[in-house]
Amino acid sequence: MALVLILVPAILLAVPARLAVAASARTSDAVTLAGQSPAWLGPDPAHQVLTLSLHVSSGAPRRALGVQLTLYRRVPTRSQFSEMTSGRGLGTSMARSPTLAVESLSADAHGGLRVTIPVIGDVAPTVPGNWTAPLGCRSGCAGVYPLKVTLTDSASSATGPSFVTFLIYDDPSPGSHPVRVALVVPLGLPAANAVGHAAGGVGGRATDVAVARLEALAGTLSDAPQLPLTVVPDPSSLVALTAGGRAHAAGVVAGAAATSARQTLSESFVPVNATTLVDAGLATELAAQIARASQVLAAASPDVHGAKSTWVAESLLDNATVGVLSADFAHVVVPPGTVTGPVGNYTATQPFTMAGTTAAMSDAPLGSHLVTGVAPPALAAVQFLADASLVYDEQPNLSAPRGVIAVAPTAWAPDTALVSALVEGLQSNPVLAPVTLDQYFQQIPVGADRRQASVRRPSSGTGSPTLPARAIRAARTNLQAFASAVAQTPAGTAVSLSLDDMLLGAESSQLTPRQQQAQVDAVDTALDGQLHQLSIRSDTVRLTSGAASVPLTFQRTTRYAVTAVVQVTSDKLTFPAPSTQTPDGGCRAPVVHSSAGRSSYSALCVLDHTTTAVYVDMRSRTAGDFRIDVTLASPQGGLVLASGHLTVRSMSTSAVAIALSAAAAAVLLAWWGRTVMKNRARRRGAHVARAKTQTRPPARAGTP
């Protein structure tokens, strides 16, 4: 009895513990899609068998694990498809497979478990498999069918993990047009990696992980050189890679764009919100972005020809911005929700006219399938291809061509499995035809589909967060002035260009307003670092004569020569002779100006030595010690490159003072001479009188 009393509590305590272990094992269970081929099925005998590659992980014994497949009726609309991707609203199931034991499934090249599913569509398959899926139709089976995959555990009654993939059955109508699919692929690093290199050629901050992902994406695209698509290389990433000693990675990116089947877009140096720039009064900055992008892409590779034919916008383009862009770009692509006008009941699949320019809308649902992390790579590729096939199914017999534009996210870093599956699924697809953006606008004319508006207007609104426009303008003014002083040599041009790139990077739409301001501050700091390498030596100069040639000493530690205007201003000095020379003749003839008792001197000089002396002829107006200011300014813009002062100790007198002194001396001398003459005459008269008195004979006695 005592033993029973002891064992019963122990058993009761052990049962919850085992249940907890089982529950933790179930929460760690997972089943994912590692691959699916072919991407589409059809009545062709070569495309009647669907093969799934599954990755299974579980804490339960492997002999207890199984896989169950459930096939649902075809997807009726794209809006319902979006809900089905998350496993909701699947509708009515048509068939369910028996539980397929995991131990009975063979391994495949992906390292997963192979599940072979022959499909009964318009014709019956002749190949055996793990389970045969009936589409429930005798003819006209084209469509997209949800297929749910569930992991089961015979030791547990709980529902196992699952996911929903899609069986794509394509059977195009005779004479119908395949849907043109224009895939736009940005090739670049995240903003924090792309634009961060300091002035002077210091390497960028691109991380190894970011570079590896970019190389993998570019390499996968290079493996399918005949696939038409539009590549948008990020010029700032190419600059950062080259500056950071990663020229090989930059070459891989350029190689992905250098094929005859590809279109390479040249847009802006960094991704920008064009409307925000124009609305902030920074249209010149937008022009600078476009010009710098063309310059970088032209130097990237002789085989890369960046075309400024289409501008792909991330956000709203208003009328003013479209007008600015139309000078360089014939077409624009805008995101959904940024234009007004009827779109009909179906997907917008044709260009339209907006603000006098041919435009088109990108397809948001297709772009959402390309966002990294939303779905496993292989499953995301299936969702993309199934969604694009649904666009064809909306209007399969329409005689006019139709098309969709899918734009991948900026700094896209997908898994190679996603890109490989997309490349495979877009090639030789009977209802999807991959095209470039130029081909899209050439093959689908405006007004081809009369059910959609051919003219639309931009939605009301402005660009996203406000740029630090005032700080950007001030920085641009300083950089242009700095360039006028240093751009005469390759080393100076490189430094100036690096500072320009930093400022363009501050305008990136990938940065928050605070980050943009911080980047502008970094530009100012980098410019100050360059200016601190210039200085004017403070000397004490003695003027011992009326005029003298006084040396002004300038020092620099920059790697480049500096062309600057030497300026001297004083109310104690005059600059009588317009002549200036350096030991090697590095200055032009000076300009001297005097007004209201103040004199100024300026001369354009080239400081191409670490220490340069500029001799200035000057004359002091007065004696004594005083300080004069010396400034080194840029040839254009008036940027002060360096400033200092010179102490002048004048021991000379002016001509007026000498004349006054001479006159005073003359007066004093005349007065002194006259006084001397008068005194001499007086003394002479007194002497004569005394002499006469002494020589007179003595008087006789009695003589009065």
pLDDT digits (tens, 9 = 90+) for 111-169: 899 999 999 988 888 888 999 999 988 778 999 999 999 999 988 877 799 999 999 99
The reported pLDDT for the residue numbered 607 is: 94
Task: Return d(Cα 325, Cα 341) in angstroms, integer.
Answer: 22
Nearest alpha-carbon partner for 217 in 429, 372, 375, 374:
372
Mean pLDDT of the 278-287 span = 95
* Model confidence pLDDT, tens digit, residues 164-188: 999 999 988 888 899 999 999 999 9
Q: Which helix (H) or strand (E) holds 494?
A: helix 490-505
pLDDT in tens, 218-271: 999 988 889 999 999 999 999 999 888 888 888 888 888 777 888 999 999 999
How much is the average pLDDT of 23-43? 81
**What would the CATH number be for the domain defined by 21-169?**
2.60.40.10
The answer to whether the beta carbons of residues 650 and 620 sit under 8 Å apart is yes
Q: Residue 508 has which token pair?
A: 């990136």
Residue 619's pLDDT band (cuts 50, 70, 90)? confident
User: Which positions ≥6 away from 558 have C-beta within 8 Å?
Assistant: 486, 492, 495, 530, 533, 534
Average pLDDT over every residue of 613-619? 87
Could you tell me where the beta strands, DSSP code E, fall in 143-217? Answer: 143-153, 162-169, 179-187
Confidence (pLDDT) at 292: 96
Percent of residues, the chain, with pLDDT higher than 70: 85
Q: With 60 as the cut, is the pLDDT of residue 272 above it? A: yes
Q: Which residues of 133-149 are buried (b: 16+ CB within 10 A; e: fewer)?
A: bebeeeeebbbbbbbbb
Average pLDDT, the chain: 85
Could you report how far apart the first and last alpha carbons of the chain are, in Å? Answer: 190
CA-to-CA separations, 588 to 380, 582, 608, 637, in angstroms, rounded:
68, 10, 14, 19
b (16+ CB within 10 A) / e for 348-375 = bbbbbebbebbbbbbbebbbbbbebeeb
Nearest to 485 by CA among 556, 551, 550: 556
pLDDT band at 22 (very low <50, low <70, confident <90, very high): very low
Residues in CB range of 647: below 8 A, 6 or more apart: 538, 539, 540, 541, 625, 626, 627
pLDDT of 524 over the 50 cut:
yes
* pLDDT tens-digit series, residues 377-399: 999 999 999 999 999 998 887 77
Asked if 58 and 29 touch (Cβ cutoff 8 Å), the reply is: yes
User: Can you tell me the mean pLDDT for 618-643?
Assistant: 89
Class of the domain covering 179-449: alpha beta
So what's the pLDDT on residue 117? 96
Alpha carbon of 252 to those of 185, 220, 482: distances in Å?
A: 15, 10, 35
Please determine, for residue 703, whether its predicted confidence score (pLDDT) is greater than 50: no
Confidence of residue 659 (pLDDT cuts 50, 70, 90): low
HEC secondary structure over 280-335: CCCHHHHHHHHHHHHHHHHHHCCCCCCECCEEECCCCCCHHHHHHHCCCCCEEEEC
- What pLDDT sits at residue 567? 93
Residues 80-111: tens digit of each pLDDT:
999 999 888 998 999 999 999 999 999 988 78
Residue 538 has pLDDT above 70, yes or no: yes
User: What band does 4 get if pLDDT is binned at 50, 70 and 90?
Assistant: very low
Q: Are 578 and 567 in contact (CB under 8 A)?
A: no
- Point out the least confidently predicted range of 236-245, 313-322, 651-660: 651-660
Q: What would the mean pLDDT of 445-473 be, rounded to a whole number?
A: 81
- In eight-state DSSP terms, residue 347 is -
Neighbour-count burial for 545-562, b at 16+ CB within 10 Å, e otherwise? eeebebebbbebebebbb
Architecture of domain 534-655: Sandwich (2.60)
